[in-house]
Structures are given as structure tokens and as C-alpha cells.
Amino acid sequence: MTAPTVTPTAPTAAPGRRRPRRTTLLTAALGAALVAIALLAAGVGAYDIPLGDILASLAHRLGLGGHPLDRVPESVLWNVRLPRVVLALLVGGSLGCAGTLMQGVFGNPLAEPGVIGVSSGGAVGAVGCIVLGLDAFGSWTVTVFAFAAGLLTVFAVYALARSGGRTEVVTLVLTGVAVNAFCGALIGIFLFTADSAAINQVTFWQLGSLAQATWGKVLGVLPFAVVGLAVAPLYARRLDLLALGEKPARHLGVDVERMRLTLITVVALLTAAAVSVSGVIGFVGLIVPHLLRMAAGPGHRFLLPAGILGGALVLAAGDLAARTVAQPAELPLGVLTALIGSPFFFWLLRRTRSRQGGWA
């Protein structure tokens, strides 16, 4: 009786090994696409600038050789295009990161930064400033008031939702809904008392735009974006543990309440800074984390850095489309993101409902 022969089989790659490779490739692809869209946005417009000239001018400014451009293209590139591109990257990255954090903290894939009132609060600050004709900080007045009002609104929502030293997610969401409605009423009162010039300015701000980008606004957003984007990835592991549920996360050593307060503060800083310079731009924080989660799973070690890159990519591409699709006119960026984001949101609702078999 002969022993059975065993045919050796090639080892199969474990799913855990494939996923890191996929996330690495996706992150690299997002980074490459971001560089490409930034260079394209810097060159395309009413005055086209060739890619070679852009690279030469950048190299010259960085002391790496290259050469300066003629007066007009140099001025267009450095005073108009690049501030707008950099601001789009900062605002988009901030909104993408804030949306990823919100969905992780709330444990809800439909959460986005506006839920906690930061966008509506910032809008109240900006609208009130415009209608009342305030000018305490010169050209920075609207930005400062929008930022301060956005932060105050978030902390008011958190304080109202907190009870017995704890904050329930459902209570926080419902409080945010009520505060958003109240902010909408305040904006309506301001508009009722405003003159036509103020109404036009308010409308332009609420529709969202990067048309007034300057290096000053870039520097105004940069500190908050750097702090928020640096802190967020440090909580990736704890967000993964929170996805198991609050009680399991606590048993595993996560201070859920402290983490929630910290991350809501980070979201407030990122979103308030973004809204203060760009106006209300919705759906970026909702769409980007979902697309990434569908592509590579729910791990926050990938989602948080990829959310930053993805948000920056989406907003840079959106801003490029907003100023080129209807030349010489410019579409409001917030309107464009809403036109694209709303159908995605409806599709997401139907997909979630069909997978869960209902909402109960």
C-alpha cells in the first residue's frame, strides 16, 4: 500500500496582506492625482500658462534653478492662481478630514460636519457682519466673525447635549438639528432687514466660492488646518476601537467622552476655518469618506490621511470646473458640490436601506 502523494500548492496571499497593499496604492494614487490637478488648475483659465513655465517659476522661487516668467504670467500665477489652488487644497483637505472624523465619532456613515452646527453658525456670523456693516478687522472682518460664530455654535451644541458628564450621540445630533434650524431663522431675520447690496454679498458668501482667495487667507487658514490635520491621524486606532461600540471601546482603555470632545473640537476648528474663507461648501465631508470606505474598508489609519488627500482633490477639481465650465462666468463652488453631492447622497440612502432591509 503506497502512501498518498501530496501535491504542493502555491501559498495564497492573506487578505490582511492584500489590504495594506491596496491602501498604499490608493494613497499613492490620490497623492499623484492631487499633484496633477493642482498643476492643471494653476495653468488653466482665462490666461493659460504652460506646465513648463509653471515648473520653471516654482523652481526659481524655491531656489532650485528655473527662471522667472514675464510680468503678466508671473503675476497671474503667484497672485491669482496659486493662492486659489493652495486655498482649495487646505479647505478641501480640512473638510474631508472633518467628515471622516464625524463619521467615526458618531458611528454613522451619514454624518458630516454641518450636523454639529459649525457651518450654520459660521453663516450667522458672516451674514450678521455683512448686514450690520461691521468693519472691526478691516478686510478680515467677515472671516473672523464667521470663524468665531462657528466655534461658539459647536460648543453651544455640545454643552446643550451634555448631561450627567456624558454626551449621547443621538442627543448631540438632535441638538445640532435644532441649533441649525435656529441659525437658519437668524439668517432669515438678517436678510429681512438687509438692503439689496448686503443681500447680494450674503448670497455670494452662502453659495460658496474661492474667487477671493489671497495669500493672506491661506495664512489665516493654515495654522488651524496644520493643527487639525496633524492631530486627527493620532486617533485612528481609537476610532477603530470605537467602531466596536462604546462599551467595548471603554473596556479596551479608550476614554470615549474625552476623545469625543477632542475630535469634535478638531472638527470645529477645521470646518470653521474652512467656512470662514470659502463660505458654505457642502457634501465634501460626506462624499469623500464614503468613497474611500467603499474602496478600501473602514480602517481609520487609511481613511484619515486618505480623507485629507481626497477632500483636497475633490475641491481642487471642483474649483477648476467652477471657473472653467461656464467661462467667462464662474459657477458658485458650493452649488457645484451640492449638484454632484445630492444625487450621491440619495443613492447612498437607497443603498444603505436596501442592505439593511429597512431603517428600523
Whether the per-residue pLDDT at 287 is higher than 50: the answer is yes
Mean pLDDT of the region 247-251: 89
Mean pLDDT of the region 239-244: 91
Phi, psi of 281 (to 5 degrees): -125, 110
pLDDT of residue 7: 44
Mean pLDDT of the region 332-345: 86
Whether the per-residue pLDDT at 23 is higher than 80: the answer is yes
Half-sphere exposure of 2 (CA within 13 A, CB side): 3
pLDDT of residue 350: 77
pLDDT of residue 353: 66
> CA-based diameter of the chain, in Å?
101
Ordered by start, the domain boundaries in the chain are 98-280
pLDDT of residue 295: 85
pLDDT of residue 352: 65
pLDDT of residue 320: 95
Task: Read off the pLDDT of residues 145-172 as tens digits, 9 standing for 90 and up.
Answer: 999 999 999 888 888 888 777 777 788 8
Whether the per-residue pLDDT at 176 is higher than 50: the answer is yes
C-alpha cell of residue 137? 478687522
CA distance 228 to 272: 11
Residue showing cell 458640490: 337
In whole numbers, what is the pLDDT of the chain averaged over residues?
86
Confidence of residue 12 (pLDDT cuts 50, 70, 90): very low
272: which residues sit within 8 A by CB, 6+ positions away?
118, 121, 122, 146, 147, 150, 151, 154, 224
Q: Report how far Cα 35 is from the mean position of its chain's Cα atoms.
A: 18
pLDDT of residue 95: 94
Mean pLDDT of the region 16-25: 72
Whether the per-residue pLDDT at 19 is higher than 80: the answer is no
C-alpha cell of residue 259? 476623545
pLDDT of residue 355: 66
pLDDT of residue 135: 87
C-alpha cell of residue 335? 452649488
Helices (H) then strands (E): counts for the chain: 15, 2
The H-or-E segment that residue 110 falls in is none
Whether the per-residue pLDDT at 1 is higher than 50: the answer is no
pLDDT of residue 356: 56
Task: Read off the pLDDT of residues 180-209 as tens digits, 9 standing for 90 and up.
Answer: 999 999 999 999 999 988 998 888 888 899
- Domain 98-280: state its class: mainly alpha
Which range in 46-55, 137-146, 204-213 is most confidently predicted, on average pLDDT? 46-55
Task: Read off the pLDDT of residues 297-322 as tens digits, 9 standing for 90 and up.
Answer: 889 999 999 999 999 999 999 999 99
The larger pLDDT score, comparing residue 30 to residue 19, is at 30
Task: Read off the pLDDT of residues 49-100 as tens digits, 9 standing for 90 and up.
Answer: 999 999 999 999 998 888 889 999 999 999 999 999 999 999 999 999 999 9
Q: Which amino acid is at 247?
A: K
Task: Read off the pLDDT of residues 220-234 as tens digits, 9 standing for 90 and up.
Answer: 899 999 998 999 999
Name the nearest CA neighbour of 263 among 275, 251, 254: 254
